[in-house]
């Protein structure tokens, strides 16, 4: 029977099935092996004697693995250090497999728990049959990285025993000669206060250091206060801290560790700024490696509590005092976060172990100690000597990070053993594990990455030719032969070998290029050697399910953190300041502490150890790191994205959605190509997360869904794959840009769907619009007014009837203080003209002639309100001469010409979103406001004004639609059809307007803690006119409810108004749901003369206060509600901005 094999033997309790024979291919050799399925073995194993006998090639593990029995005791004399790669065939089922090399007795191969997890086979224990019915006949599973497993557990008992961590104090867990020193691996040894020595940590101040540093006590949760008490009591008992009367006080706070416990951290930023930097160098990496390369066996030990092993120099303790709710304390030992620790600790270790280092018995770099030897006897003697010195100086070690009696070990990113130094597997793992391409798109991605290093690879074009052939045959049947596989492997080998991949040198600047995608992080470490940038190491890491939910800023920062941790030994003491290249501008704010969450605070503390500069580079030029971040293909079954909580059919359709959207594009039933922004297209091509629904449609309905040049089209629109970053970018571009102008759901949906499509597009757009804070602050909330609506009759053609109105008075902009609005009542097209409130009938006639008549001819009818301009005798004469019938609106009836009121509101809303605080640049934005309105679908017509007038949509510079040129006759016929449909839509809309007048409006309830917007009604604004000011301020938090219909709000301290408001003035805040809508954390304050100063962005206004003048200051990164009135004396560090304000106000 295919895809199964019969097991002749089984042992109850151990859950193992014996299998034989199996066929495996290693290094071109076919071998028949016996195998046993063992769920108690954490990893698949192959017998060491078999490997040696058959000369099967092996590879070194990144870190040795200790093999343990079920009770936690060590099994065997040596750690596992090697593994083999093989192709395994089980009765027609093929797979690629990694197996660690270790002595086995009963079988050649143990198929362990990892194998069972990957295949998840169906097992019949009674009949001894395993079926591969949950995976294909050919598998290539990404096995768990075996180098990171702490051990392999072999079950040799019928009892289920819980796996135990090794006890670091258990002498049985140490080699025999080390058992007398077991107490050095005991955490309790930390309780002993180190003695004073010549290497005590010095804190030396720069010239003109302040005489005091003050700070505030941070508020803490009950759990944090409990942990603080525990920390203070423990450290007071060991004399590591003591009460203080210091004039210096650093704040302290808690950050969570990975295991969920809390770590107390002191913010020594101010102290570090005035501390003279210690330039004592760390040991040269090259010298450390030279000491080890000829050894045959090693012990490797890691010091625990490295910081607290160092005393602070007597008399310097007060400088590091920290403030808590229990008072002021000063440390007597080094605490994490102090500058100069690497230099102090390195000097300490070099002094303590000077003799062993000088005679070659020990190599040391920071807290890592490697003892090399030519044989076990020498290793034992050197280790005993080392431990005696460590015991004398009260040093402790972390057992879980130690390695004993190993033939090879990883030191500073290099594998040392067998008389040579080789590259660490982790450096090149991202490249060597690059999965075999299965699509042309994946081939293009691989070659795009390889092209960065082609200048180092001899005959690159010849090697890559078989892969380039696949690119040229795009669209044809896919194939992958031995020729392509050889080219693929050869290029990977070239990239991960010299001269492309270089060993790091002691001199030469480093560069770290990082990027993060939704599912992974990627990075490249490079160093400048001989005037060329060579890669030193690569990184490609999968994001955990929790990390995938981080905001984009945190994902980008996480990529940096992962890279710094991985390459710490190269970058911590780099001789030159290194650069970090990222394509995310907002990361510049993360260099210093600000309003950080606990995770960011923990990262901040780590960043302080490094000397680097952040360089922002465009995404297009950060290709190497970008590709590595997207190699990840994680299981996203537990992701929350794309889940529709409520199906579309469960919603009552809104009025604006009940109007049919007529798909009347002139390109009906024609295939066309959309040439969009190349950045977006490239991202779409690289993304491979197409939904199954789309792929099935492409197979069943090729005339509806097809692929062209790596892009999938659905009914002529670009299909955007399931990638939140790309979809977010498109939504942001179609909502926040000036030509988009913050449209509502209906108009934005039509705009996006002209070019793009994805299954949840309507839901995503509704969520995006709802979460836009600019829309929430500025848009008019329309409520039914219960006055019978009387819509005007609908014209038959564009520009038969027009409406004219004026918006003003406004603040002067280029000597204009009003806007003339001219509207075609059929197509809803508008023209906006800046003018003055002193407009005469002659001026208006001239505007009409230039802005309307020369484009659209003479209308049959003009509708306007009773303005003095229109009432003039001159305009009457002009209308009579042109044969225009004038029909003035009914006095004080709000809906006779209601479309003009709504039009004016929309124009004002657009201007609010983009004009400056002084409101004196609105003329600059008027052309874009006009374009924005004319290019958006109108709810009454179902079409854009542009399209109803001209039969096409305007080209915006980044999108072009190419198609065949239809005949003039068909264009005219189709345009006429469109206009007939638009008129029918307007008639239906008028009927719904009449019915809507009687609807009632219900306010949604609020609760304490809710965030709300506050209407600007009755609130004084410093801006020139309310007409262009925000409609709402906030958001503000509700403190409590007062009575039935009022609420108390938490207002800024600078607002001298009563903080209780009626519910009619409040609107609930809708939180943003997309990364592009979430504002970056405001920048941190600068420290000037030991005082925190926030950056002034602009001075907006001034006023007389007593005998002096105060200025209204707007702070960079903060909202208008935080604007503050300050005297001139408080702006001494903002002289340029103050000067600029005086130039705008010369009579001040």
Question: With contact defined as beta carbons under 8 Å apart, do 715 and 736 qualify?
Answer: no
DSSP state letter for 852: I
Burial of 849 (0-12, 13-18, 19+ CB in 10 A): exposed
Task: Please give the pLDDT value at position 188.
Answer: 59
Top mean pLDDT of 46-55, 630-639, 1030-1039 is at: 46-55
Question: With contact defined as beta carbons under 8 Å apart, do 447 and 467 qualify?
Answer: yes
CB atoms within 10 A of CB 284: 15
pTM, entire model? 0.38
Q: Name which of 163, 34, 53, 144 is nearest 100 in CA terms.
A: 144
Least confident of 38-52, 211-225, 428-442, 893-907: 893-907
Dihedral sign computed on CA atoms, order 429, 435, 441, 447: positive
CA distance 1033 to 777: 7
pLDDT tens digit sequence for 514-558: 888 777 788 888 888 877 787 777 787 778 777 877 777 788 888
List, by residue range, all CATH 3.30.70.270 domains of the chain: 425-501
Question: In terms of pLDDT, which residue wins out, 714 or 127?
Answer: 714
- Residue 322's pLDDT band, with cuts at 50, 70 and 90, is very high
Dihedral sign computed on CA atoms, order 190, 194, 200, 205: positive
Q: What angle do CA 364, 284, 394 make, to 5 degrees?
A: 25
176-423 classified as CATH 1.10.275.10: no
Tokens for 1018?
A: 């009755």
The predicted model gives 342-364 an average pLDDT of 86
CATH for 425-501 (3.40.50.300, 2.40.50.100, 3.10.20.600, 3.30.70.270):
3.30.70.270
Cα 756 to chain centroid distance, Å, stands at 23
Cα 315 to chain centroid distance, Å, stands at 45
| Cα–Cα separations (whole angstroms), residue 805 to 53, 100, 608, 864 | 95, 82, 61, 6
Q: Which residue has the tokens 């709402």?
A: 1032
Strand partners of residue 921: none
> What percentage of the chain exceeds 70 in pLDDT?
67
SS (H, E, C) 638-675: CCCCCCCCCCHHHCCCCHHHHCCCCCCCCCCCCCCEEE
The predicted model gives 985-992 an average pLDDT of 54
Tokens for 737?
A: 């840009």
Q: Please say if the pLDDT value at position 573 is more than 50.
A: yes
CA distance 677 to 699: 28
pLDDT tens digit sequence for 290-316: 777 778 899 999 887 556 778 999 999
Cα 459 to chain centroid distance, Å, stands at 38
- Residue 348's pLDDT band, with cuts at 50, 70 and 90, is confident
The predicted model gives 353-376 an average pLDDT of 87
- Residue 153's pLDDT band, with cuts at 50, 70 and 90, is very low
What does the DSSP assignment read for 151-187?
Answer: EEEE--SSS--------TT-GGGS-GGGGGGGGGG-G
Q: Please say if the pLDDT value at position 1034 is more than 90.
A: no
Task: Please give the pLDDT value at position 119.
Answer: 77
| Cα–Cα separations (whole angstroms), residue 945 to 791, 848, 941, 979, 1024 | 19, 19, 9, 11, 32
Tokens for 355?
A: 């003799």
CA distance 173 to 403: 12
Phi, psi of 429 (to 5 degrees): -55, -40
User: What burial letters (b/e) apply to 468-477, b meaning 16+ CB within 10 Å?
Assistant: eebeeebeee
Question: In terms of pLDDT, which residue wins out, 762 or 844?
Answer: 762
Question: With contact defined as beta carbons under 8 Å apart, do 935 and 944 qualify?
Answer: yes
Tokens for 474?
A: 């795009």
CA distance 783 to 1000: 8
What does the DSSP assignment read for 304-324?
Answer: ESTGGGSBBPTT-GGGG-EEE
CA distance 204 to 316: 8
CA distance 24 to 753: 53
pLDDT tens digit sequence for 583-606: 765 554 454 445 566 677 677 777
Q: Domain 665-778: give its CATH code.
A: 1.10.340.70
The predicted model gives 746-760 an average pLDDT of 81
Radius of gyration of the CA atoms of the chain, in A:
37
- Residue 1018's pLDDT band, with cuts at 50, 70 and 90, is low
pLDDT tens digit sequence for 25-82: 555 567 888 888 887 788 889 988 888 888 888 887 766 777 776 555 666 667 788 8
Q: Please say if the pLDDT value at position 1 is more than 60.
A: no
502-614 classified as CATH 3.40.50.11540: no
Mean pLDDT of the chain, nearest integer: 72
CA distance 340 to 8: 66
Q: Name which of 1018, 1013, 1006, 1054 is nearest 1033 in CA terms.
A: 1013
CA distance 355 to 364: 12
| Cα–Cα separations (whole angstroms), residue 176 to 68, 172, 189, 247, 1074 | 17, 8, 21, 53, 59
CA distance 248 to 319: 6
Q: What DSSP element (H or E) covers 485?
A: helix 482-495
Q: Please say if the pLDDT value at position 959 is more than 50.
A: no
- Residue 828's pLDDT band, with cuts at 50, 70 and 90, is confident
CA distance 427 to 448: 20
CB atoms within 10 A of CB 501: 20
How many alpha carbons fall within 13 Å on the CB side of residue 631?
Answer: 28
Burial of 225 (0-12, 13-18, 19+ CB in 10 A): middle
CA distance 621 to 614: 15
Q: Name which of 236, 210, 196, 211 is nearest 330 in CA terms.
A: 236
Secondary structure class of 692 (helix, strand, coil):
helix
1086-1144 classified as CATH 2.60.120.200: no
Secondary structure class of 362 (helix, strand, coil):
coil
Q: Please say if the pLDDT value at position 561 is more than 60.
A: yes
Q: Domain 801-996: give its CATH code.
A: 3.30.420.10
Q: Please say if the pLDDT value at position 163 is more than 50.
A: no
CA distance 1107 to 1126: 14
Q: Please say if the pLDDT value at position 4 is more than 90.
A: no
List, by residue range, all CATH 3.10.10.10 domains of the chain: 176-423
**Cis peptide preceding 1035, ω within 30 of 0:** yes
Task: Please give the pLDDT value at position 316.
Answer: 94
Phi, psi of 844 (to 5 degrees): -65, -40
Cα 920 to chain centroid distance, Å, stands at 37
> What percentage of the chain exceeds 90 in pLDDT?
6
Burial of 553 (0-12, 13-18, 19+ CB in 10 A): buried
Least confident of 25-39, 368-382, 666-680: 666-680
4-154: which CATH architecture?
Beta Barrel (2.40)
List, by residue range, all CATH 3.10.20.370 domains of the chain: 502-614
CA distance 341 to 322: 18
- Residue 888's pLDDT band, with cuts at 50, 70 and 90, is very low
Task: Please give the pLDDT value at position 259.
Answer: 61
Q: Please say if the pLDDT value at position 330 is more than 90.
A: yes
CA distance 648 to 641: 17
Secondary structure class of 1058 (helix, strand, coil):
coil
């Amino acid at each position: 029977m295919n895809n199964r094999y019969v097991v002749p033997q089984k042992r109850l309790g151990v859950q193992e099935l014996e299998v034989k024979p199996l066929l495996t291919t290693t290094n071109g050799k076919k071998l028949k092996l016996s195998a046993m399925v063992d769920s108690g073995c954490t990893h698949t194993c192959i017998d060491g004697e078999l490997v040696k006998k058959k000369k099967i090639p092996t590879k070194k593990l990144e870190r040795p693995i200790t093999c343990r029995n079920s009770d936690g005791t060590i099994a065997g004399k040596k750690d596992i250090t090697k593994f083999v790669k093989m192709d395994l065939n089980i009765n027609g089922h093929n797979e690629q497999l990694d197996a660690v090399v270790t002595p086995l007795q009963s079988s050649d191969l143990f198929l362990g728990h990892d194998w069972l997890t990957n295949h998840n086979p169906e097992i019949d224990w009674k009949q001894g049959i395993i079926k591969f019915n949950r995976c294909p006949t050919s598998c290539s599973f990404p096995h768990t990285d075996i180098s990171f497993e702490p051990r392999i557990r072999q079950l040799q008992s019928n009892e289920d025993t819980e796996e135990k961590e090794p006890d670091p104090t258990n002498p049985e867990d140490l080699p025999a000669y080390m058992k007398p020193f077991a107490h050095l691996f005991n955490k309790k040894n930390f309780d002993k206060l180190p003695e004073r020595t010549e290497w005590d940590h010095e804190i030396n101040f720069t010239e003109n250091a302040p005489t005091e540093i003050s700070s505030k006590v941070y508020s803490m949760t009950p759990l944090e206060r409990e942990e603080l008490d525990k920390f203070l009591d423990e450290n007071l008992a060991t004399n590591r801290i003591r009460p203080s009367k210091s004039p210096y006080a650093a704040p302290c706070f808690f950050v969570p560790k990975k295991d969920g416990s809390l770590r107390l951290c002191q913010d020594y930023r101010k102290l570090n700024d005035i501390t003279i930097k210690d330039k004592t160098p760390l040991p040269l990496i090259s010298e450390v490696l030279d000491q080890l390369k000829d050894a045959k066996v090693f012990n490797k030990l890691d010091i625990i509590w490295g910081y607290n092993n160092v005393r602070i120099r007597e008399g310097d303790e007060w400088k590091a005092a920290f403030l808590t709710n229990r008072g002021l304390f000063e440390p007597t030992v080094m605490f994490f976060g102090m500058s100069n620790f690497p230099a102090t600790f390195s000097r300490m270790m070099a002094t303590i172990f000077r003799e062993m280092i000088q005679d070659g018995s020990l190599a040391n770099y920071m807290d890592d100690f490697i003892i090399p030897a030519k044989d076990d006897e020498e290793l034992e003697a050197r280790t005993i000597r080392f431990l005696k010195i460590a015991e004398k100086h009260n040093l402790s070690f972390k057992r879980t990070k130690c390695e004993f009696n190993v033939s090879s070990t990883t030191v500073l990113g290099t594998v040392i053993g067998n008389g040579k130094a080789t590259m660490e597997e982790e450096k090149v793992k991202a490249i060597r594990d690059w999965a075999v391409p299965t699509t042309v798109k994946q081939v293009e991605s691989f070659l795009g990455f390889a092209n960065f290093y082609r200048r180092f690879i001899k005959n690159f074009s010849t090697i890559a030719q078989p892969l380039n052939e696949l690119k040229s045959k795009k669209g044809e049947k896919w194939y992958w032969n031995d020729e392509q596989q050889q080219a693929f492997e050869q290029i990977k080998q070239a990239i991960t070998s010299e001269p492309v991949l270089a060993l790091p040198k002691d001199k030469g600047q480093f560069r770290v290029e990082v990027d993060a995608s939704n599912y992974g992080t990627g990075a490249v470490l490079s160093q400048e050697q001989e005037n060329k940038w060579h890669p030193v190491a690569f990184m490609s890491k999968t994001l955990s399910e929790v990390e995938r939910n981080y905001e984009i800023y945190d994902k980008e920062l996480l990529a940096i953190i992962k890279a710094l941790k991985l390459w710490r030994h190269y970058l911590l003491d780099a001789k030159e300041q290194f650069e970090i290249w990222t394509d995310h501008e907002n990361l510049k704010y993360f260099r210093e502490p600000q309003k950080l969450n606990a995770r960011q605070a923990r990262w901040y503390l780590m960043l302080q150890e490094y000397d680097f500069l952040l360089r922002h580079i465009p995404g297009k030029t950060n290709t190497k790191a970008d590709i590595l971040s997207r190699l990840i293909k994680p299981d996203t079954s537990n992701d929350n994205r794309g889940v529709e909580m409520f199906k579309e059919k469960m919603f009552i359709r809104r009025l604006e959605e009940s109007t049919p959207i007529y798909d009347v594009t002139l390109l009906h039933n024609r295939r066309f190509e959309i040439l969009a922004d190349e950045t977006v297209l490239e991202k779409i091509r690289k993304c491979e997360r197409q939904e199954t629904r789309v792929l099935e449609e492409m197979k069943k309905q090729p005339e509806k869904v097809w692929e062209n040049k790596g892009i999938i089209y659905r009914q002529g629109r670009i299909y955007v794959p399931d990638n939140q970053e790309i979809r977010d970018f498109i939504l942001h571009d179609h909502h926040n840009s000036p030509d988009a102008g913050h449209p509502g759901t209906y108009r934005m949906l039509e705009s996006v769907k002209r070019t793009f499509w994805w299954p949840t597009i309507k839901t995503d757009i509704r969520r995006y619009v709802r979460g836009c804070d600019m829309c929430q602050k500025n848009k008019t909330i329309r409520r039914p007014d219960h006055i019978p609506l009387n819509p005007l009759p609908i014209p038959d053609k564009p520009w038969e009837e027009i409406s004219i109105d004026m918006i003003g008075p406004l603040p002067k902009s280029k000597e204009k203080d009003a806007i003339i609005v001219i509207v075609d009542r059929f197509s809803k097209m508008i023209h906006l003209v800046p003018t003055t409130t002193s407009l005469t009938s002659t001026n208006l006639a001239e505007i009409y002639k230039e802005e309307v008549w020369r484009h659209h001819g003479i209308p049959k009818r003009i509708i306007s309100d009773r303005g003095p301009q229109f009432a003039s005798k001159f305009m009457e004469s002009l209308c009579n001469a042109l044969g225009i019938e004038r029909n003035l609106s009914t006095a004080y009836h709000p809906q006779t010409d209601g479309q003009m009121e709504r039009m004016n509101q929309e124009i004002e809303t657009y201007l609010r979103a983009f004009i400056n605080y002084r409101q004196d640049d609105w003329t600059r934005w008027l052309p874009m406001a006009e374009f924005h309105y004319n290019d958006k679908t109108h709810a009454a017509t179902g079409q854009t004004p542009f399209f109803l007038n001209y039969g096409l949509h305007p080209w915006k510079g980044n999108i072009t639609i190419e198609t065949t040129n239809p005949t003039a006759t068909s264009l005219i016929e189709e345009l006429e059809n469109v206009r007939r449909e638009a008129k029918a839509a307007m008639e239906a809309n008028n009927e719904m307007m009449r019915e809507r007048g009687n609807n009632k409006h219900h306010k949604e309830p609020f609760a304490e803690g809710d965030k709300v917007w506050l209407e600007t009604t009755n609130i004084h604004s410093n801006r020139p006119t309310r007409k262009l000011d925000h409609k709402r301020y906030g958001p503000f938090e509700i403190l409590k409810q007062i009575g039935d219909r009022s609420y108390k709000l938490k207002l800024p301290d600078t607002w001298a108004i009563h903080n209780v408001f009626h519910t009619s003035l409040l609107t609930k805040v809708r939180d943003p749901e997309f990364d592009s809508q979430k504002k970056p954390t405001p920048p941190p304050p600068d420290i000037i003369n030991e005082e925190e100063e926030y950056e002034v962005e602009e001075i907006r206004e001034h006023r007389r206060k007593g005998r002096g003048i105060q200025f209204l200051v707007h702070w960079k990164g903060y909202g208008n509600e935080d604007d503050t009135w300050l005297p001139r004396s408080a702006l001494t560090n903002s002289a340029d901005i103050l000067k600029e304000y005086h130039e705008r106000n010369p009579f001040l």
